[in-house]
Amino acid sequence: MAAESLNLKITGKSHVKAKKNIGRKEYQLVTFDLPYLAFYYNQKLLFYKGNDFKGMVEKVKEGLSVVLEEFHQLAGKIGKDEEGVFRVEYDDEMEGVEVTEAVAEDVGVEDLAVSESSSSLMELVPYNGILNLEGMHRPLLAIQLTKLKDGLAMGCAFNHAVLDGTSTWQFMSSWAEICSGAPSTVAPPFLDRTKARNTRVKLDLSLPEPNGLPSENEEKPKPKLREKIFKFSESAIDKIKSTVNENPPSDGSKAFSTFQALSAHVWRHITLARNLKPEDYTVFTVFVDCRKRIDPPMPEAYFGNLIQAIFTVTAGGLLLAHPPQFGASLIQKAIEAHNAKAIDERNKEWESAPKIFEFKDAGVNCVAVGSSPRFKVYDIDFGWGKPENVRSGTNNKFDGMIYLYPGKSGGRSIDVELTLDPHAMEILEKDKDFLLEV
């Protein structure tokens, strides 16, 4: 599909609040949350087939008012306490979650399931280019429901200073189960962030003056990047994994996981496509879920950010001159070294000199993975079937950023959603060893 407009019309805006009164609540943001204040809202886009748009919208909104009782933080705002420590604030008078309704009836679900992302897809997701810090003045969750020729596009924007991917998909699962009447499989959110880290960090952060930030409609001059989804079948994933595990290392280390094998595969082929000099460094970054890594461990249902970025670096020439085990081993060692002690040290270092991440800080010639194929995104069924397609919006994407999703066909298949410089992308698309085409 070309980048032409979808001819989308906004037909209404409303706000959804929790069904029951909850009262005033305050939740301190902790060291795992704060670095993301200068990231953008995290955007997810799901497409569903169906003809009863009005009924679907009513059901989604009704279920939202119920799920917001437990997940009421998403109906709150970011604020600061009297000492300048950021927190999530909720009270029943707040406006709640923003829901926009729109129509793009010339476009079908299949038209939007294309592998290449385009500017028109971005019209389906709210809060393009909106910083998390702006959650002081606007909802922490915004949803856009767009009527398509034969279905519904659901675009969601979550404030990333308030929650990570694990919490995002737990919320989505709970919401869908309420709407479809399915028995709940999701534990209630565990809301006390200070159990994970109880350091009070004061940040002197305020929003730039309104004229200092480009508005939503004023495009910042960004380098032109391409976004594309590469679908790896179950057999391709098995081949990548078995290849990297062919000659087990003599030092007795564990076999490489699917994630480590696929990450090394993607890192090598992107490095090849970038045509680096042998001595150029390349950084591999992965955002690791720390719920079970910290001491004491936190429940899976911990609501908030409990991720940290870990990095490993090597020279491009070394990565390519060695077999795939070399890259996989670097990634494996970095992940395994990230234990409770390493997490604690990273937090202490950050707390002593807080540094707000910006996405361009990811590293030189970076490949960064920011989502997990363990998230069961194709099980998000609101009562009219599973999504036809799931992808991320354009926020928080830069050259080398990857989101991994389970493949729609299930099993061990994985979708690799990749943002890359157009020249490198062109080379990668022709790389038969990357796509494992027969």
* d(C-alpha 168, C-alpha 166), whole Å: 5
Cα dihedral: 286, 291, 292, 296 (round 10): 130
CATH number, domain with residue 280: 3.30.559.10
Nearest to 14 by CA among 105, 137, 71, 96: 96
Provide the mean pLDDT of the chain.
92
Report which residue type is found at 24: R
* Residue 399 a catalytic site member: no
* pLDDT tens string 388-405: 999 999 899 999 999 999
* d(C-alpha 326, C-alpha 146), whole Å: 46
Q: Kindly name the residue from 238, 280, 361, 381 that is annotated as catalytic.
A: 381
Residue 220 in domain: no
Give the pLDDT band of residue 277 (cuts 50, 70, 90). very high
Same domain, 164 and 260: no
Same domain, 26 and 105: yes
Contact 328, 256 (CB under 8 A): yes
Same domain, 176 and 296: no
Report which residue type is found at 173: S
pLDDT at 80 > cutoff 90:
yes
Same domain, 151 and 282: no
Joined together, the tokens standing for residue 279 give 């001595």
Same domain, 110 and 164: yes
* d(C-alpha 327, C-alpha 57), whole Å: 46
* d(C-alpha 255, C-alpha 234), whole Å: 19
Q: 21: domain range?
A: 9-195
Question: Which 8-state DSSP code applies to residue 344?
Answer: H
* d(C-alpha 387, C-alpha 106), whole Å: 20
* pLDDT tens string 339-382: 999 999 999 999 998 877 776 666 789 999 988 999 999 999 99
Same domain, 165 and 231: no
Average of per-residue pLDDT across 226-255: 91
Alpha helix (H) residue ranges in 183-293 = 234-244, 258-274
* Residue 160 a catalytic site member: yes
Domain boundary residue among 195, 212, 241? Answer: 195
Note if the bond before 296 is cis, omega within 30 degrees: yes
Q: Kindly name the residue from 72, 160, 265, 338 that is annotated as catalytic.
A: 160
Contact 365, 376 (CB under 8 A): no
Same domain, 124 and 233: no
Contact 399, 368 (CB under 8 A): no
Q: For the sheet with 9-16, list strands across it.
A: 9-16, 97-104, 141-148, 151-158, 42-49, 389-392
Predicted local distance difference test score (pLDDT) of residue 127: 97
pLDDT at 209 > cutoff 70:
no
Nearest to 39 by CA among 363, 359, 316: 359
Q: What is the CA radius of gyration of the chain?
A: 22
Report which residue type is found at 78: I
